[in-house]
Structure 1
């Protein structure tokens, strides 16, 4: 899916807004990324498409303007990547949100799709959701610190050996912050 077309970034805030055909495209993307070893929520390839479908269904049915957005990137009408932006509405923590499942199709890697998704999520968080900061947890050992660091995020903590991908392959979970938005 290499393209020179400009990506289009769209947010969805309710289940009803998600167009027909998008959920299966999200499943295909998530399966592709996970099966390639991507750090997007399913650590042990190959993934079970039924599990991925159930996870996408939970994301879509949980969309809510106050607490959960789905942000997608399309190129030439095809899904190129996506992420989830969530916040807890409990007053003590309602000023910050989290990014989840940031991913891009393998064929568009290196074309700025992931960076565009994260930048678009930042704008949505600030302008549409009134958030003051964003957080995320990234898997260590795959260069994600550098990717997010280049977008203004900073590491604020690390949980050594939190993620066990295989016997003898424990990875740190890296906690990152983007503030102010």
Structure 2
């Protein structure tokens, strides 16, 4: 089983609906992608539309992963820095793999594809991302070569009395 990654897919209804369904499923499975379950597609749609608008404006790119049945199974948004002193690194946002495909290597394939894209971007020397502490995501990103470079204790409140660290990670290219 493999994941096929595509950069800058046509943002048609199939892609929009597929990413929305993926984001909803990942969130409801407890994935740390900006929401806490339970959520509906209507809860997530404004964030997706924001991401799509950023792509349309040229400030982000969409990396889309499809499974062997050509279904949308993984995504990441690659974000450019608009600050003139930070153009030498990019952001990786909303990295997710469908729960049905976790443990199959899809996450590593997606991260390798993001790194490959970054290496083609003029002047880009690093990829930066943040993740929710306590989710295990930091261990996954470390296994992909990222180093923890910062941590804000308790910055993410997932529920009353349940605050998580915001972990900053960097991959130098």
Deviation at 1:89, TM superposition (A): 3.1
Name the Cα RMSD after superposition. 1.7
Distance (Å, rounded) in 2 between the aligned partners of 1:129 and 1:57? 27
**For each residue in 1:81-113, what CA deviation from the matched residue of structure 2 results, as whole angstroms up to 9, or x when unmatched?**
101010113321111111111101111001111
1:9 corresponds in structure 2 to 5
**5+ residue gaps in structure 2?**
none
Aligned length: 172
Question: Alignment partner for residue 39 of structure 2, among 38, 41, 47?
Answer: 47
Deviation at 1:11, TM superposition (A): 0.7
1:110 corresponds in structure 2 to 103
Please say if 1:178 is aligned against 2:171: yes
Over 6 Å off, 4+ runs: none
Please say if 1:152 is aligned against 2:152: no
Please say if 1:79 is aligned against 2:72: yes
> TM-score, normalised to structure 2's length?
0.92
Distance (Å, rounded) in 2 between the aligned partners of 1:129 and 1:65? 19
**5+ residue gaps in structure 1?**
none
1:26 corresponds in structure 2 to 19
1:165 corresponds in structure 2 to 158
1:126 and 1:67, CA in 2 relative to 1: closer, same or farther beyond 3 A? farther
Deviation at 1:129, TM superposition (A): 5.0
